[in-house]
Amino acid sequence: MNYCESCFEEHTYTIKNEIHSFKFRGENIEIERRVAYCNKCNSLIDVEELENETMAKVAQTYSEKYGMTSLEIKNVRKQFNLGIRPFAKLLRIGSASVSRYESGSLPQATHLDIYKRLQHHPHAILEFFNTNKDLLTDRELQMVEASLQAWSVSEQSFQTDEQIVESIYKTNELTELTGYNEFSLDKFINMVLYFTSNGVLKTKLMKLMWYSDFLFFKRQTVSITGATYVKYPYGPVPKDHDIALAHLQHMNIIEIDELTNDEGWTMMKIKASEPFDSTIFLEEELKTMSEIEVFFREYGSRKISEYAHNERGWIETEVKQPISYIHAEELREF
């Protein structure tokens, strides 16, 4: 049985196979998926296992068909704030080819390798600049130097992914905004890995982490990760969560995929790329995380968001403001 949002109660359901087309990273991907229909009203029912299965199939089909989307290719250039012509000269690729790639044409294999390198290691643009800057006009050289100045950082001032994530959460350490704990990057990462081992939608992941930290604080007067959480319209989320997740992705700790559901909403699926390390957690911390996972196992992103919206900590906090762990005292037990 599962919850039917049309009947507002749980019912048994029937699983059917359907051919469906998804908009995935700007491309149309057609797959055969399994979907659940309520046996009472015949409406679609959210079954997370089937949703995860579908998203995994979409991602696999996409990865087999495309190397990078046109949007990803365009963003490689845009991150350097460079025009098409000077960017093409630095890479020794024709400007017409760059335009075609950004419009949806698939790059040549050698060009795709360059784009992927710059996507994952953007500082490599400095190597291309030093090698090919003589191809630029004086005006282009001046503009490119200005655009790449931010990337020309010394080794001493360069921040690693780990340092950037830590800098997000260390500002409020040992206060009520972090659960009176120091931020632990290892526990933060492994909490993400714990809840994403089989893939989970980003919205649900954010709530699972919040409930884990706040429930543990309610019982032990200290959080698990030391992370700060902020009120967003769709529920509590770790502070600067998109930045943190982007750097975890860059560290190859997680994979992030996008797809559009039947209602036209873009969904982000997050899946662990590394094994979960339980040894860094206390027994009670693991028990709390397990309680949260079991309690919300059958909840979809919408249902867990609605559940979180009834917590006093979310109700009494202004939008985009940090949620005090003091509110954990009023958290519902599981």
Q: b/e per residue, 112-128, with b = 16+ CB within 10 A? A: bebbbebbeeeeebeeb
Running DSSP on this structure, what letter comes out for residue 322?
B
pLDDT digit string (tens) for 91-115?
999 999 999 888 877 677 688 889 9
Judge whether residue 317 has pLDDT over 90: yes
Indicate whether 13 and 131 sit together in one domain.
no
Q: Tokens 């037990």 belong to which residue?
A: 333
**pLDDT score for 156:** 41
Indicate whether 115 and 208 sit together in one domain.
no
Indicate whether 297 and 270 sit together in one domain.
yes
Judge whether residue 153 has pLDDT over 90: no
Q: 64-68, 70-74, 275-279, 292-296: lowest mean pLDDT where?
A: 64-68
Last residue of a domain, one of 65, 92, 116: 65
Indicate whether 83 and 42 sit together in one domain.
no
Q: Vertex 271, ends 268 and 276: CA angle to 5°?
A: 145
Q: 68-82, 84-98, 150-164, 223-237: lowest mean pLDDT where?
A: 150-164
Residue 264 forms part of a structural domain: yes
Distance (Å, whole) CA 189 – CA 226: 12
Dihedral Cα 323, 325, 328, 329, nearest 10 deg: -130
pLDDT digit string (tens) for 235-285?
999 998 988 888 898 888 998 887 766 666 667 889 999 999 999 999 999
Provide the residue count of the chain.
334
73 close to 107: Cβ distance less than 8 angstroms? yes
Judge whether residue 124 has pLDDT over 90: no
Indicate whether 53 and 166 sit together in one domain.
no
Higher pLDDT, 121 or 211: 211
Indicate whether 78 and 48 sit together in one domain.
no
Say how many Å lie between the first and final Cα of the chain, rounded. 20
By residue range, what is the domain housing residue 140?
A: 70-151
Q: What is the mean pLDDT of residues 116-134?
A: 88
Q: What are phi and psi of 15, to 5 degrees?
A: -95, 130
Indicate whether 324 and 190 sit together in one domain.
yes
Indicate whether 60 and 74 sit together in one domain.
no
Query: Inter-axis angle of helices 109-120 and 70-78, to 10 degrees?
Result: 60
Higher pLDDT, 28 or 209: 209
pLDDT exceeding 90 applies to what percent of the chain? 52
Indicate the pLDDT class of residue 322, thresholds 50, 70 and 90.
very high
**pLDDT score for 133:** 93
Q: How far is CA 265 from the centre of its chain?
A: 15
Distance (Å, whole) CA 220 – CA 137: 64
Strands (E), the chain: 2-4, 9-11, 13-24, 27-38, 44-45, 200-201, 229-232, 235-238, 254-260, 266-272
Q: What are phi and psi of 261, to 5 degrees?
A: -85, -175
Last residue of a domain, one of 151, 179, 210: 151
Judge whether residue 25 has pLDDT over 80: no
Last residue of a domain, one of 34, 49, 65: 65
**pLDDT score for 64:** 63
Indicate the pLDDT class of residue 158, thresholds 50, 70 and 90.
low
The DSSP secondary structure of 151-212, one letter per residue, reads G---TTTPPPHHHHHHHHHGGGTTSTTTTSS---HHHHHHHHHHHTTT-EEHHHHHHHHHHH
Averaged confidence pLDDT in the chain: 88
Residue 156 forms part of a structural domain: no
Q: Is the full-model pTM beyond 0.75?
A: no
**pLDDT score for 256:** 84
Q: Which amino acid is at 296?
A: F
Number of domains in the chain: 3
